[in-house]
Structure 1
Amino acid sequence: MSDVEKGAVQANPMPRSTLPPRRLGNPAPLGLFAFATTTLILSLYNVNARGISVPNVVVGMALFYGGLAQFLAGMWEFACGNTFGATAFSSYGGFWLSYATIFIPSSGIVDAFNTHPPAMFASAVGIYLMAWMTVTFLFLIASLRRSIAFIALFGFLTITFMLLGAGFFTANDHITIGGGAFGIVTALVAYYIGTADLLENDGIVVLPLGAFKARTA
């Protein structure tokens, strides 16, 4: 380094200790509440709550809360160094965005099946849901050393996708209603975990999640 360069460095020092610390809030409550609320609404429709059998009202929720908000929570989890949370939130954010797109008329997805037997659309959605059951089952495996709460969340969600997919394959409303019931339970578990994370920042109330102790060498 030349004398001129050394003088420039000394005149404009930028030690790392003087840089402002990078602070990020915990994005998990946002992701969990977005997932739980959208899941709860659709699950209530699946169990025909108040006689509702058309799920299209959930499209707005799926686009902006379950989809966009949860996807953003996943991106912030990457910034926080939480690969598991980032992958899960981003994945289910993508799920809700893709699910909503199916029911948007301008997408043309439903119209593409108008010239085919109705069973073809049902089978296509069934395969779609079973693929997400597979993704969820992999998250279940990854959660086995995290906490009982996360095991319950992904366990119930795996069953939810399985029953909903089977309901489309068989056109059996009872199976779909069963999937809706498990979806409601899944949403309640997600609400619990999200509330636990939200209250943890205050340090006043601690809700147990059944976390496992870290392995020691």
Structure 2
Amino acid sequence: MTAVEEIRETVSVPAAAVADPGAHIADPGPLGLAGFAATTFVLSSINAGVVPKAIEPVVLPLALFFGGFAQLLAGMWEFRKNNTFGATAFTAYGSFWLAFAFYVWQFAGKIPAAQAATATGMFLLVFTVFTAYMTIASLRTSVALVAVFSVLLLTFVCLTAGEFSGAAGVGKLGGWLGLATAVLAWYASFAGVLNGTFKKTVLPVGPLSGR
């Protein structure tokens, strides 16, 4: 009897679960993408000027619970499924939204007005760098995710540049790019749910060759 067979017999688990410990866990990707898309959509609508800036507080509960906590959970489940890319992405962007909510809620008003834009720019710059190398890593995932990360990178670049330069038009462009990012992320989420539920490809995500 092999070691694997002994483990299987001792704990009484299916062979697939021994070969792949994450096989019994549902794909957390659609949840993480949905949380990311929803929060990005609302904040980007404000940044693009589609809705009044006065409604900005509505972003905070979304950032805390859907974009933040739900995405963080998705990242933990991706670790369990041995998906380094998904685990890193969802955990980091979940933390981004949690940090953003806490920053706006507790600290933004305590920064002198003359340095407020620089402070926000530094906050965004950190995630611009992170998104840049995650975009490169996404080239081994799917066309859908490459699209999400490519447009997200442009979004962060514009938002960061807008804060540092004070150019409102650049920040507004970042808002429109954020809306495009949200739509792409929603598509990837929808495809994940639909394809997983129907057990076949209903909406294509374009797996990249060599994956």
Checking the alignment, whether the CA contact within 8 Å between 1:149 and 1:189 is kept in structure 2 is yes
Matched, 1:213 2:184: no
**Structure-2 separation of matches of 1:136 and 1:182:** 14
Structure with the greater alpha carbon radius of gyration: 1
What is the DSSP-based 3-state SS (H/G/I as helix, E as strand, rest coil) of the residue aligned with 1:50?
coil
Distance in 2, matches of 1:187 and 1:38, equals 8
Percent of paired sites with the same residue: 41
Name the structure 2 match of 1:125: 120
Letter in 2 for 1:208: P
29-38 or 198-207, which deviates more: 198-207
What amino acid does structure 2 have at the position aligned with 1:41?
V
- 2:159 paired with 1:167: no
- For the residues of structure 1 that align with 2:179 and 2:191, how far apart are their CA atoms? 19
Say if 2:41 is the partner of 1:48: no
* 1:1-217 → structure 2 map (5 Å cutoff): 16-17=8-9, 19-21=12-14, 23-53=24-54, 55-104=56-105, 107=106, 109-113=107-111, 116=112, 118-201=113-196, 202-203=198-199, 205-214=201-210
Quote the offset at 1:205 in angstroms. Answer: 5.0
Query: How far did residue 119 of structure 1 move?
Result: 2.9
Deviations 1:165-190 (A, max 9, x none): 11111222211110000000001110
User: 1-side partners of 2:167 and 2:161: how far apart?
Assistant: 8
Contact in 1 for aligned 2:156/2:174 (Cα 8 Å): yes
Quote the RMSD (CA, aligned, Å). 1.7
Structure 1 residue ranges (4+ consecutive) displaced by more than 6 angstroms after TM superposition: none
- Kept in 1: contact 2:48–2:175 (CA 8 A): yes
TM-score, reference length from structure 1: 0.84
Preserved contact between residue 139 and residue 208 of structure 2 (Cα < 8 Å): no
Aligned CA distance change for structure 1 residues 204 and 144 (closer, same or farther; 3 Å): closer
Post-superposition Cα deviations, 1:86-126, rounded to whole Å, max 9, x if no partner, equal 0100000000000000121xx3x12431xx3x231110110
How has the CA–CA distance of structure 1 residues 111 and 52 changed in structure 2, closer, same or farther, with 3 Å as cutoff? closer
Scaled by the length of structure 2, the TM-score of the pair is 0.87
SS in 1 for 2:57: coil
Instruction: Note if contact 1:28-1:73 (Cα within 8 Å) is conserved in structure 2.
Output: yes
State whether residues 56 and 103 of structure 1, in contact with CA within 8 Å, keep that contact through their aligned partners in structure 2: no
Supply the distance in 2 between the matched residues of 1:15 and 1:189 (Cα, whole angstroms).
43
- Name the CA distance, whole Å, in 2 between partners of 1:119 and 1:182: 27
Q: Distance in 2 between matches of 1:61 and 1:15?
A: 43
CA distance in 2, matches of 1:86, 1:111: 33
SS of residue paired to 1:143? helix
Mapped partners of 2:136, 2:200: distance in 1: 32
Alignment length, in residue pairs? 196
Distance 1:15 1:125, change over 3 A: closer
